[in-house]
Amino acid sequence: MAVAAVAGQPDESPDPRPVLELRGIGKEFGAIRALHGVDLEIFPGEVVGLMGDNGAGKSTLVKIVAGNFAPSHGEMRFAGEAVRFNRPVDARAVGIEVVYQDLALADNLTAAANVFLGRELKRKFGPFSLLDHKAMAARSLELFGELRSETLPHNLVRQMSGGQRQAVAIARTRLSNARLVMMDEPTAAISVRQVEQVLGLIHRLKEQGIAVMLISHRMPDVFAVADRVVVMRRGEKRADKAIGDTSPEEVTALITGAKEAA
Amino acid sequence: MTVPMESPVSYANVGRARWWRRGFFASQTGYVTLALLILVLVMHFASPYFLTEGNIQNVAKNFSFIAIATLGATFVIITGGIDLSVGSMMCFAAMIMSMVMTALSTPGEPGASWFVHLAADGKTVVANVPGLILAVSVLCGLGTALIVGLINGFCVAVLGLSPFVTTLGMLSIVRGLAYVASNGRGSFPGGPDADILYALTSGDLYGLPAPFIYLVILALLMAVVLHHTSFGRHVFAIGGNEKAAEQTGVEVVKVKIAVYVICALAAGLQGIIICGWLGSAPANMATSYELNVIAAAVIGGANLAGGIGGPLGAIVGCVLLEVIRNGLVLAQVNSYWQQTLVGVIIILAVLVDRLRSRLA
Ligand SMILES: Nc1ncnc2c1ncn2[C@@H]1O[C@H](COP(=O)(O)OP(=O)(O)O)[C@@H](O)[C@H]1O
Ligand SMILES: [Mg+2]
């Protein structure tokens, strides 16, 4: 699927502008300062690993970008334009998709129904519009195929493995022309084989020019797929390094605070 | 570190389940239907009267008297909610319908001059098309139900009150209003259109009782809405995982309000039908019917935890309850046993479902 050209940017540009730019993002919850002065850029087709201890502010950052709540400070630009989201739907409308930590799947529905939940395909029958089951099943099968996942559209999510569920949640992000996909802890609760599947899925997104922000506690996962790693600690960004310029040891030190910044 | 990129897609571990292990056949609705068929066979051999046309009509009419309300309640149950106010709603809608009808048919009452006038010989004459009074009264009854449904939905979806508590309160409020409105005496549909009401509610077409015909039409409509519209899809999604529905952009508040409105309207219509059959709307009409309705829905396979249910299950549950009641009558068992047996069946149905999902 083609990635829509960023406004005012020539397609052949060798160094495209970032899809997402954060400048001085801060967030307070009452007296709690969850985020402070975070600057971040993500480019098309780039996978950024976001790491940090519990409470470092990773989920808060994701939720701000996803439109779950507005930042207290700072500005956000998406595809070069200043944006302000009031609701998750606003973020989705410009091309930001989120795979939530709990995947946000309805167990009692089929894979296809979940992929299309909230944006069902319909056919007109006179004044009525009814669900187009065939089209949704066909498109889902196509998406699962693209993601190389062994998931069938008519299977119930309840009966699926962790990896298949992940595929359903990720397939959902492929419906629209998403330009940034953020994943909160996608590999936290699944088996080793399934982790490989998910990392494979992230590669597929990257190949299609989609920027991916991967939040993970698992060092091997981040080092397997990310181009760049960003370390958060106590609400601040402490490091932002290309994977080749750092090591799991350094990142661990940054996460725990043994090393202040890099 | 490398990621396996080109592992072939194979569907080894996700083959499609055999037909008898999925869908209807593996559902509670499926085996309750089976239980019902067996029960009907047993009854047939036990009593030659059971499968006679008269008795079948009787059974069909009786279960239709709660099944329409059960269809509505099933919508609410699928979203994971509950509506305890259906019994009171049946009564109140019937009473409003009946009172409006009587008032509009009495010359001198406010608004009645539009519909009737007194002829020279002192008789009341319809000023308009026959049936207009009935149509207006039924709309008033259903309008009342609509308002009650909106209030239930608002409390649950917008204010976030628990459905159990909200509708328990509404059960009492609406029943109280029915007593207040009729001063405890109930109401009798009167006037020139009363006969049309009776014909439409206790009449039959080709031997099929009218309520049964309405039931079948509404059940088919419900099946289409639940399985072939995005509204229906969202009803299931909310029951399955409300937070997920919210995050994926489903308009959870609207859908939840809609299901309580549908439930109240179905109960209102049911009440009006019962009223036509009884020929009156007593203030204690349909008392505790909410329990029968919920029992029928649950026996038929709707899950009170949400996410599962449908029109077929709702009807099968109602039929099963009625066949048992009918059977006990035919067998001349003390009718007080009926309630006890219904309770046992509710627990059995849920128990069998639990055992089945353990074994699967
Ligand atoms: N809705 C909220 N209300 C109050 N405090 C919050 C809220 N969300 C997060 N926080 C606080 O913000 C900090 C960062 O949390 P979070 O972003 O969830 O961290 P992480 O995802 O990195 O573990 C924590 O101290 C947390 O308690
Ligand atoms: Mg978190």
In a domain, A15, yes or no: no
In a domain, B128, yes or no: yes
Query: With a CB-CB cutoff of 8 Å, which residues 79-138 of chain A face chain B?
Result: 88-89, 92, 98, 100, 102-109, 113, 117-120, 122, 128-131, 133
In a domain, A10, yes or no: no
Q: Is the pLDDT of residue A251 over 70?
A: yes
In a domain, A133, yes or no: no
Q: Measure in Å the smallest separation between the Cα of B319 and chain A Cα atoms.
A: 26
What the block records as the tokens of B108 is 């001198």
- Which chain B residues touch A224 with a CB distance below 8 Å? 1-3
pLDDT score of B354: 77
In a domain, B20, yes or no: no
The domain tally of chain A equals: 1
pTM of the model: 0.85
pLDDT digits (tens, 9 = 90+) for A29-62: 998 999 999 999 999 999 999 999 989 999 899 9
Q: Measure in Å the smallest separation between the Cα of A28 and chain B Cα atoms.
A: 23
pLDDT digits (tens, 9 = 90+) for B2-59: 444 444 444 444 445 555 555 676 678 888 899 899 989 998 888 888 888 889 988 9
Is the CA virtual torsion B151, B155, B157, B161 positive or negative? negative
Q: Which residues pair with A53 in a beta bridge?
A: none
Mutation target vs A (from B5, B14, B303; most A CBs, 10 A cutoff): B14
Question: What's A86's domain CATH number?
Answer: 3.40.50.300
Q: How does the average pLDDT of chain A come out, rounded?
A: 87
User: Rounded to an integer, what distance in angstroms lies between the CA atom of residue A74 and that of residue A39?
Assistant: 9
In a domain, B28, yes or no: no
In a domain, B142, yes or no: yes
User: Rounded to an integer, what distance in angstroms lies between the CA atom of residue A243 and that of residue A120?
Assistant: 39
A248: contact with B, CB 8 A cutoff: no
- Which chain A residues touch B11 with a CB distance below 8 Å? 150, 152
pLDDT score of A1: 41
List residues in chain B touching A: CB distance below 8 A: 1-7, 9-14, 16, 224, 227-230, 233-234, 236-237, 239-241, 243-245, 247-250, 307-308
Q: How does the average pLDDT of chain B come out, rounded?
A: 87
Q: Tell me if B170 sits within 8 A of B84, measured CB to CB.
A: yes
Mutation target vs A (from B226, B236, B247; most A CBs, 10 A cutoff): B247
In a domain, A62, yes or no: yes
pLDDT digits (tens, 9 = 90+) for A192-244: 776 787 788 888 889 989 999 999 888 888 999 999 999 999 999 999 999 99
Full residue range of the structural domain in which residue A196 is found? 20-109+162-256
In a domain, B15, yes or no: no
Full residue range of the structural domain in which residue B185 is found? 55-359
- Which chain A residues touch B3 with a CB distance below 8 Å? 196, 199-200, 203, 224-225
pLDDT score of B21: 56
The domain tally of chain B equals: 1
Q: Tell me if A203 sits within 8 A of A118, measured CB to CB.
A: no
In a domain, A200, yes or no: yes
A196: contact with B, CB 8 A cutoff: yes
In a domain, A235, yes or no: yes
In a domain, B36, yes or no: no
For A109, the closest of B224, B228, B240 (CB atoms) is B240
In a domain, A63, yes or no: yes
In a domain, B8, yes or no: no
Question: What's B149's domain CATH number?
Answer: 1.10.3470
In a domain, A142, yes or no: no
Three-state secondary structure of chain A: CCCCCCCCCCCCCCCCCCCEEEEEEEEEECCEEEEEEEEEEECCCCEEEEEECCCCCHHHHHHHHCCCCCCCEEEEEECCEEECCCCHHHHHHHCEEEECCCCCCCCCCEHHHHHCCCCCCEEEECCEEEECHHHHHHHHHHHHHHCCCCCCCCCEHHHCCHHHHHHHHHHHHCCCCCCEEEEECCCCCCCHHHHHHHHHHHHHHHHCCCEEEEECCCHHHHHHHCCEEEEEECCEEEEEEEHHHCCHHHHHHHHHCCCCCC
Mutation target vs A (from B241, B250, B304; most A CBs, 10 A cutoff): B241
pLDDT score of B335: 72
Q: Is the pLDDT of residue B126 over 80?
A: no
pLDDT digits (tens, 9 = 90+) for A187-200: 766 667 767 877 88
